[in-house]
A and B are shown apart, each in its own frame.
Chain A
């Protein structure tokens, strides 16, 4: 199976610690997205890349969040100095470029709990 892979599936950390998540997209997909989802809500956009270029970052995203996609392949999302409000499911998705006919293929997510 060559779907989107995310690691780890679960992360428990203490407030103030840094965490990093990894996403491996479907290999031929140019676009990679990060979303965050809390219970009872739909996924909230964080940022996206086209190849290695980060094209957009949500204005709601704190400076504690940073994402990279070196070489246009896998991506990492780092959260520095975690807060309890960062607890959420972090979803990665990839997409081939179909113009505006968007089709997102999601990974299973990383569930973050900040104690």
Chain B
């Protein structure tokens, strides 16, 4: 079963705009990770936020985590056509290291 559910399922924006994707999860987590996947290829790790962190930045990426609402968001600022990809959140819970992935958001950035 999937721990994380993401919305929207698909998002289409113009280059230069910001893109926001949301992820909800069901149980307590150790951390939440965001990955990008281009056209069915491998997953590229973007950012990891620990359960005791509320916000984290990496370049044009900003991730927030609200453990009371069991939700996280990924903001990509000043998007580029190269950001076109699927974005997944993945939750790590308990003592197990397995990642439970959300269903993903397909982001399309139009030039």
A joins B in a complex: no
Which residues of B are in contact with A by a Cβ distance under 8 Å?
A: none
Which residues of A are in contact with B by a Cβ distance under 8 Å?
A: none
